[in-house]
Amino acid sequence: MIAALPSVLFTFSTHETHDQNKNKKFSLTVSVSCDFVLSRNRQAVTMVQRLTFRRRLSYNTKSNRRKVVKTPGGRLVYHYLKKAGKVPRCGHCKIKLPGIEKARSIERSRMSRRRKMVKRSYGGVLCHKCVKEKIVRAFLIEEQKIVQKVIRAQQAAAKGQKNKK
């Protein structure tokens, strides 16, 4: 029995066309073909379908990610993937803000206000713990100011009594 020895061949071809305005248009075709030495039972080998990039960029960059999708007609085509967005982070403690959708900045500019924030003071900017800290700190500072006023008033009253004597 003869063993099947795979050999894979990658081919790249470019095709140049001109439109009505005499602008050059390029299309890049990538094809993968597999040849096998057949065993005695003569298995049929199917060729891989060629895929053409829909855009001009042919390098495998972060902005050019794509997946192969089979259409209802049975063809394989590339679908370009969008970059994943990020959830905004708290401005103070840098944790991800819960209740806010992840999105890219352009998508976020088109989103409604309720999808970009939560119904709270500093919603969409600070997390609930940092807002609580901020409120408690402000309350304690105000209490401290009141205590200082009372102490000053008592000292002034004490000085006034000494001056009268």
The per-residue pLDDT for range 26-54, each reduced to its tens digit, is: 666 666 555 555 556 667 777 788 899 99
| pLDDT band (50, 70, 90) for residue 76 | very high
Classify residue 25: in a domain, yes or no: no
Phi, psi (rounded to 5 degrees) for 116? -105, -5
pLDDT above 50 (res 1): no
Range of the domain at 136: 86-160
d(CA 95, CA 127): 8
51-61 mean pLDDT: 93
Q: What is the pLDDT of residues 114-163, one digit of tens each?
A: 999 999 999 999 999 999 999 999 999 999 999 999 999 999 998 888 77
Q: How many domains does the structure of the chain reveal?
A: 1
Classify residue 121: in a domain, yes or no: yes
pLDDT above 60 (res 10): no
The pLDDT assigned to 130 comes to 96
The pLDDT assigned to 165 comes to 63
The pLDDT assigned to 162 comes to 79
Burial 147-164 (b: 16+ CB within 10 A, else e): eeeeeeeeeeeeeeeeee
Q: What is the pLDDT of residues 107-127, one digit of tens each?
A: 999 999 999 999 999 999 999
Classify residue 19: in a domain, yes or no: no
Classify residue 116: in a domain, yes or no: yes
Classify residue 139: in a domain, yes or no: yes
Classify residue 15: in a domain, yes or no: no
The pLDDT assigned to 134 comes to 96
Classify residue 115: in a domain, yes or no: yes
The angle formed by the CA atoms of residues 132, 147 and 129, to the nearest 5 degrees, is 5
Classify residue 18: in a domain, yes or no: no
d(CA 124, CA 114): 10
**Contact in structure between 12 and 30 (CB atoms under 8 Å):** yes
Higher model confidence: residue 85 or residue 20? 85
